[in-house]
């Protein structure tokens, strides 16, 4: 048996397990481990497994395995949780340079009134416009609906709708499982949007950080929020995140939101 130490965190209800020293422990099949640990009924339960590795010049390297064992390039909620785990391990809340599948990301941390929760600001980088993803026609989106296909290092399709609660998002998301699908309605405030998400490799989640950035970018381009307003407040099932855009071309997004430590976990797994 191999003993593993993990921590569990959530960012607005989007929950992750963080694992250090997997290579030192001889864990070879991380995809299989992710499927096992993330299972909601037979495992510990999580939307993904974040594996931390040493990397020269970085606080750590982050590799994200979705609950189905697939690898994702980036997660805005995940990296906040990851940074909280790294901060606890090294004993400080200093800025972190983290290497991800979507490149270098700088995370700045701050304390909150809740000792289990930190506020994290992530430099997400530029928003890139993508072409229509393969199989998009299966969604059968009405031609009058605004649609944007965007990348924050991972692919997103954002659709403007009248009421996010009225949409069968599970059905639509399963038609394009290789893409993160966000649906967006304006409000409740002039600089705010409400968003729901079906994530690639995880299904419906309470929040999505990269999705919030994509949705905020799309909403500004459609005029749902003022284009001269740098901050877009994104309401999701799990809570609220703020997306801030700079004046560069294309604009770079900064994501701000909480990360909460849930538990420290000690488990044993069978050796391969």
Low-confidence ranges of the chain (pLDDT < 50): none
Which pLDDT belongs to residue 268?
85
Answer yes or no: are the C-beta atoms of 163 and 180 closer than 8 Å. no
Packing angle, helices 76-90 and 209-222, rounded to 10 = 140
Q: Which residue has the tokens 């877009």?
A: 232
Whole-number pLDDT of residue 163: 96
CATH superfamily placement of domain 128-256: Diaminopimelate Epimerase; Chain A, domain 1 (3.10.310.10)
pTM metric for this prediction = 0.93
Query: What tokens appear for 173 in the block?
Result: 């998301």
Say yes or no: do domains 2-123+258-269 and 128-256 share a fold.
yes
Domain boundaries, the chain: 2-123+258-269, 128-256
Contact 196, 170 (CB under 8 A): no
pLDDT of residue 248: 85
Dihedral of alpha carbons 104, 110, 114, 115, sign: positive
Query: Nearest-CA neighbor of 18 among 264, 256, 268?
Result: 264
Predicted confidence at residue 249, as pLDDT, reads 83
Encoded tokens for 94: 């200093």
Q: What is the CATH number that goes with domain 2-123+258-269?
A: 3.10.310.10
- Is residue 203 within 8 A of residue 187, CB to CB? The reply is no
CA distance 256 to 258: 7
Q: State the pLDDT at residue 1.
A: 81
């Amino acid at each position: 048996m191999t003993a593993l130490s993990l921590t569990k965190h959530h960012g607005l209800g989007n929950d992750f397990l963080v694992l250090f020293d997997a290579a030192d422990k001889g864990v070879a099949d991380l995809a299989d481990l992710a499927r096992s640990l993330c299972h909601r009924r037979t495992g510990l339960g999580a939307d993904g497994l974040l594996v931390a590795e040493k990397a020269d010049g970085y606080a750590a390297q982050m590799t994200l395995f979705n609950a189905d064992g697939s690898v994702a390039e980036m997660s805005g909620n995940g990296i906040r949780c990851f940074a909280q785990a790294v901060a606890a391990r090294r004993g400080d809340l200093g800025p972190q340079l983290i290497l991800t599948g979507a490149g270098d990301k700088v995370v700045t941390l701050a304390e909150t009134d809740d000792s289990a929760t930190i506020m994290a600001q992530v430099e997400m980088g530029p928003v890139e416009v993508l072409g229509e993803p393969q199989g998009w026609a299966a969604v059968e989106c009405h031609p009058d609906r605004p649609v944007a296909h965007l990348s924050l290092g991972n692919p997103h399709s954002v659709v403007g709708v009248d009421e996010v609660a009225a949409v069968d998002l599970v059905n639509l998301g399963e038609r394009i499982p290789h893409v993160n699908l966000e649906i967006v309605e304006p409000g409740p405030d002039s600089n705010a949007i409400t968003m729901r998400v079906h994530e690639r490799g995880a299904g419906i989640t309470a929040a999505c950080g990269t999705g919030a950035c994509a949705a905020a970018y799309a909403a500004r381009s459609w005029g749902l929020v003022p284009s001269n307003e740098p901050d877009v407040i994104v309401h999701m099932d799990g809570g609220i995140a703020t997306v801030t855009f700079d004046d560069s071309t294309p604009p770079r997004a900064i994501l701000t939101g909480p990360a909460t430590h849930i538990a420290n976990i000690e488990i044993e797994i069978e050796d391969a």
